[in-house]
Structure formats: structure tokens, C-alpha cells
Amino acid sequence: MDPDGQGLGPLSMPHPANSGGLFSHTEGPSKELFWTSVLMPIFSIPIVVLRLWTSKRVVNKWHVDDTLIILATVFAVLFSVDSALNARLGSGDHIWNINPKSLEILLKSTKWGGLPVYNIATVFIKASVLTFYLRFTVDVYFKMCSYVVLFIVVANAIVNIVGSAILECTAPGQPACHQTILIQIVSAAINSATDAVILLLPFWLLRPMKVPLSRKIGIAFVLMAGGFVFFVSIFRLVSTTQLDDNLDATYRGGNSLKWSVIETWSGIICACMPYAKPLINRYFPHSWAATKQDSSGSERRLATINMEEGVNNDQPENKGVVVEARKASSSRTASVCVPRDAILQT
């Protein structure tokens, strides 16, 4: 839409003489997108480093999900760089304020840069969370469910990348652009759905555990941390649906891109959160102990899933371990078998 509310076709979009040159868009939503793309990695990368330090130096055990989160971070950085450049090119600004050369570069940058690296980063983030879950169970059905979710995530990314690459969207308002946006909306919906499944999967792990409810809740929050990005993905889905049939696509697209950046880095942060406990236990034991002394302190903190035990998972006797849970005031015990090397303290 133009300032007067009239529709603009791809051939009738005004480009005023005073429209900025390349990389000249520094105000409004473009500015918000730029600083989001810059600040999110600055805030998130130290958290990733702490998570990797915890795996290497505190837990003394490196897992596949650690490698996957490194790959996710690399592609997230590339996505942030592309998004920051797109902000300077005009993403987030009204289309009539963008000169034709900037618009051409912006569309190509999104198609060949932003979309692929965003989808690849998303795949690695979710793969990291799912492989983290798989360390907690020998349940065949849970593993099958996790692999199905991962397959959907990978397939969704491939369809998004390939579909957007095939369609020739050279100016907003074209049929190919409408189809590209439709692909983005469907992909965002599937993305949110898989996030919801990942958020709820830990309940499957906790169901057979015969431990007090308060313990289950504590463990649930640790395990579910990787899925909390679901709530951010909903905001991105809403912003993506607003792109459809909107010829001022660069203006709305900036908001969608901003939420994509936030979603990517939020996913990485959430995937790192379960590693906070062993790190705090090692370097701030008294502060953590203080938080454990609540009004129900009579409950013994057994049956905790301990990441700090380095166990060789290749040995048959270490494939699983029975963990006991008991209250100080009772002699009752309950047990549940979980993989020993994947155990987290809560």
C-alpha cells in the first residue's frame, strides 16, 4: 500500500528521487532489525561458550548435542550477518523508500543467503535438543518419535529452501512472490508445531518416574528448557502471516525477519539452559544450596540426574542405572531406569 492507501503493483511502485542509496536505511523498523541482529549474538554466544565449557571442563563429557549446538551457532551468526545487511538495504522500510538496486540485492540476499542459513540453523538447534533428550531413555517408541520429529524438521527445511529457490520472486506483488510467502507461512506453522512437540516430549520421559511431584516439576523445567522457544516461534508465525497479499512486503518483512533472528538465538539459548545447573553447582555451590532450602526441606535430594558423572556409555553395564528416590521421613523407595551418562542434577 502507498501512503494514500492505494494498492501498488510491481510495476507502479514509486521510487522517489530522494530514496536512499545502498546500505542507507538506518531508521525505524530497519534500525530495530539491525540492532536485533547485532545484539542477539553478542548476548547469546557467551551462553554457548559457557555451555561448551561445562561439557568439556565440568561434566568432562562431550556429546553429539554439543557439536550440533556449535554448528547451529555458526549458521545463526551467518543469519544475523545477512539480516543486518538486509536491514541496511531496506528490510523493515517502506518499499517506496528503497531504490531498485537495493531492492534487487535485498531479494537475492534473502533468497540465497538468509533463508538457507536460517533453516539450517533451525535444523541443528532442534537436532541438538532432540539428541539431548535421547540420552535420557532407552524407550524405543520415544526414540522413534524423536526421529520422526527430526525428519519433519529436516524435510520442512529442505522444502522451504528448495521451494523458495525455484520460485522467481523479483518484485513484490508477483504470483511467484505470493507462492513464496505461502511456503514461508506453511513452514513457520510446521516449525511452531515441531517446537510444541519438543516442548512436551519430556513429559513422556517423566511419566514412568516414581518420584515426588515437586521433583518431577523440577526435572521437567530442566528438560523442557530446550522447547521454550515455541512461544517465540508463535510470534514469528503471526508476523509471517501478515506478509501475505501485502505489496509493501519489505516493511512487514522486516518485522518477520526480526522475529526470525530472535527465534533462532532464543532456540540456542534454550538448548543451553539445562547445562546451567552443573555449572552453578561447580562454581557457586553455596548459592545453589541456598535455593534448595525451601519450606519442604525434609525431602532428600536423591534420585537426581547427575551430569557430572563421567561414565563410558560403550560399556554394557553403563547403559542404564537405577536411580532411587526417597523422603527422609519414609523408608519407601521407588526407582526408574535412565541412562547414567545423561543424568542432570535438578
Q: DSSP readout, 62-119?
A: --HHHHHHHHHHHHHHHHHHHHHHHHHHTTTS-GGGB-HHHHHHHHHHIIIIIHHHHH
Average pLDDT, the chain: 78
More confident call, 17 vs 201: 201
User: If residue 165 lies in a helix (H) or strand (E), which one and from where to where?
Assistant: helix 140-166
Inside any domain, residue 17: no
Which of the four pLDDT bands, split at 50, 70 and 90, describes residue 250? confident
Q: What is the mean pLDDT of residues 239-247?
A: 75
SS3 20: strand
Q: What is the pTM of this model?
A: 0.79
- pLDDT in the model for residue 276: 86
For residue 195, give the nearest of 149, 164, 260 by alpha carbon: 149
pLDDT at 178 over 90: no
- pLDDT in the model for residue 42: 97
Residues 259, 170, single domain; the answer is yes
Q: Which string of DSSP letters, residue by residue, matches 229-274?
A: THHHHHHHHHHHHTTTT-S-HHHHHHHHHHHHHHHHHHHHHHHHGG
pLDDT at 259 over 90: yes
Residues 193, 225, single domain; the answer is yes
- pLDDT in the model for residue 127: 97
> How far is 176 from 178, CA to CA, in rounded Å?
5
Which of the four pLDDT bands, split at 50, 70 and 90, describes residue 128? very high
Inside any domain, residue 204: yes
> How far is 1 from 152, CA to CA, in rounded Å?
36
Residue range(s) defining the domain that contains residue 303: 280-285+297-342
Residues 86, 209, single domain; the answer is yes
Angle 318-320-322 (CA atoms, 0-180°, nearest 5)? 115
Residues 303, 170, single domain; the answer is no
Residues 158, 218, single domain; the answer is yes
Residues 215, 301, single domain; the answer is no
Residues 164, 309, single domain; the answer is no
SS3 1: coil
pLDDT at 247 over 50: yes
Inside any domain, residue 19: no
Which of the four pLDDT bands, split at 50, 70 and 90, describes residue 227? confident
- pLDDT in the model for residue 311: 37
SS3 132: helix
Q: What is the C-alpha end-to-end distance of the chain, expressed in Å? A: 53
Inside any domain, residue 270: yes
SS3 293: coil
| pLDDT 10s digits, 106-118 | 989 999 999 999 9
> How far is 208 from 158, CA to CA, in rounded Å?
36
pLDDT at 205 over 70: yes
Q: What is the mean pLDDT of residues 139-154?
A: 95
For residue 40, give the nearest of 5, 4, 84, 70 by alpha carbon: 84
Inside any domain, residue 3: no
Residues 253, 301, single domain; the answer is no
Residues 198, 54, single domain; the answer is yes
pLDDT at 217 over 70: yes
What does residue 309 show for φ and ψ, rounded to 5 degrees? -85, 115
Which domain CATH number covers 216?
1.20.1070
* Number of C-beta neighbours around residue 322 at 10 A: 11
20-29, 121-130, 196-205, 308-317, range with the lowest pLDDT: 308-317
Proportion of the chain above pLDDT 70, given as a percent = 74
- Residue 26 makes CB contacts below 8 A (sequence gap 6+) with 34, 88
| pLDDT 10s digits, 278-325 | 888 888 877 644 355 443 333 333 333 444 433 344 444 444 443 433
- pLDDT in the model for residue 20: 58
Say how many domains are in the chain. Answer: 2
Inside any domain, residue 38: yes
Q: What is the mean pLDDT of residues 73-96?
A: 94
Which cell is 16 given? 522517489
Out of 246, 276, 306, a domain closes at 276
Inside any domain, residue 237: yes
